[in-house]
Structure 1
Amino acid sequence: MMMSALWALCVAWTLLVSVDGQLTAGKINIINNELAYRYGHIQGQVAMAFNLPSSFCDNSSSGDLDNILKGNEESRVQNVLNKGDVYTDSIRLAAATPLKHNTCSDHAEYRLLYPAGNNYVTKLQRDSNTECMVFFSLLSPCTLKCLNNNRPGVSILESLQDFSFWKAGYKAFVFEKIYIHPYSPCNKEQQKLQLITQIHQNAHLIPFYRCDGNNCCNCASKPADQNNPCLADRLPAQC
């Protein structure tokens, strides 16, 4: 399965009204067009943290990322991920895929965000006045482990505090598909409600967006119930 979400974002962000301040729909659309062009063929579930200059987020234009992400070619990133390692240049980009163990796996976003205060995302932090963060995950964080308050050893909830480094309007957490954990004691609808509840509770740290190739929704802009458009099988034309 190709990393379809980044390709989808090429279109999806054009329909977004705004992202907290400086990151407008047009700017995010350009950013994700550029990211999709570079990394759209990485296969399977992947999480990628992009630490971009805030000047680019303020006034993005095609071609800027050639210099910003120089040295982070897709083939180079893919080669590292194929070995089961986390890719990072320690300045602009960190990327991970799930790491499988005998009976379980470390999820991609967990590998970038754990432990809180000392992870691959915090290692990208340089200057909050000159940087913005776009954190992408093909799948939403699961509610059995990653967004579970009762499992601190595998949860990323505490790590979401690390996004406070970037100013409001200069950060976004983007996912395409809702991940339903097959071993959760909760059914699909319960897991979806758990997801939207956690998104609402943590949106002040970083805004969460779901994009499907045709539309993008700010998941905390609507109530945390089963009617939230981010929980729909297909996102509505207007969120």
Structure 2
Amino acid sequence: MVFTVPLRVLLLGIVLLSCIQSVVNEDVDMNTLTRIQKFFHDNYYNGGQYAVATNVPQQQCRSGFYPTRRNFLTLDPSATVKPLIQRDSMYVYRGTELIAAGVHRDAHSEHLLMNPPNTSPLTNLMNTNRDGCVVFYTLNSPCISRCLNNNYINNIIQGLNKLNAYQGIKAFVFSNIFTNDQNSQNLRTELQKIADRVPLYRCNYGSCILCGQPGSNIPVIDQCLIT
């Protein structure tokens, strides 16, 4: 069969659209994410609450990648980052592929990285590579009373919307349930606000689990609510 030029153009367009769609819908490899979270803990944990976000090449979020100090975030070393994200500091580390913040009584780590939404450290980081891999990690889950509260002026909902619009691989990751929320009856509903926008993972003790993701009819799973 001989195709006319318009039909060839149409078929090419379909192929290109399929390729773009597959990139947009690609998820981080779970085993690689486990190793990335361990890298964060080994290199940036300073004894208290902190949050980091990275924007790295997609290959570094795919199967078979093993992050080390020689091949991952090499321009954002531990010795430079950790002293700047101490408790009760409002400072935000803005690096080449990494942003990071500690916690302040008036501004939690997630807020410091995600606000104001249009010019936040996270938005600026995502703009440096629009089709890379963005992993947002917080040691403790975002608090219900502020970060996930639609009525609180400094919530992170708009920041999550910005992350949702990112065209590359993306993930929101936490390890522990925030202390004040451990007995909340609304925990599942509140964490669902994240999962409805960005694939939500819990990584701890050398493994990661998918808590929930956009477009799924399955609510945040029980394993992500255990304290």
- TM-score bracket, normalised by the shorter chain, equals 0.7 to 0.9
Tell me how far apart the structure 2 counterparts of residues 75 and 48 of structure 1 sit (CA, whole Å): 15
What one-letter code is carried by the residue in structure 2 that aligns with 1:81? I
Tell me how far apart the structure 2 counterparts of residues 133 and 189 of structure 1 sit (CA, whole Å): 29
The structure that has the greater radius of gyration is: 2
Partner of 1:9: none
Of all paired residues, the percent bearing the same amino acid is 28
Task: Give the SS at the match of 1:26.
Answer: helix
Number of equivalences: 197
Say whether residues 1:42 and 2:46 are aligned partners: yes
Q: How does 1:1-239 map to 2 (within 5 A)?
A: 21-39=26-44, 41-58=45-62, 60-62=64-66, 66-82=70-86, 84=89, 85-89=91-95, 91-100=96-105, 105-125=106-126, 126-129=128-131, 131-151=132-152, 153-167=153-167, 170-181=169-180, 188-190=183-185, 193=186, 195-213=187-205, 215-220=207-212, 223-224=218-219, 228-233=222-227
More helix by share: 2
CA RMSD of aligned residues (A): 2.7
Tell me how far apart the structure 1 counterparts of residues 62 and 206 of structure 2 sit (CA, whole Å): 24
Task: Give the SS at the match of 1:77.
Answer: helix
> Are the counterparts in 1 of residues 31 and 207 from structure 2 also a CA contact under 8 Å?
no
> Are the counterparts in 2 of residues 30 and 60 from structure 1 also a CA contact under 8 Å?
no
> Are the counterparts in 1 of residues 27 and 170 from structure 2 also a CA contact under 8 Å?
no
> Are the counterparts in 1 of residues 117 and 162 from structure 2 also a CA contact under 8 Å?
yes
Tell me how far apart the structure 2 counterparts of residues 72 and 140 of structure 1 sit (CA, whole Å): 24
Unaligned runs of 5+ in 1: 1-19, 234-239
Q: Which structure has the higher relative contact order (CA within 8 Å, separation 6+)?
A: 1
Tell me how far apart the structure 1 counterparts of residues 138 and 74 of structure 2 sit (CA, whole Å): 22
Tell me how far apart the structure 2 counterparts of residues 122 and 196 of structure 1 sit (CA, whole Å): 27
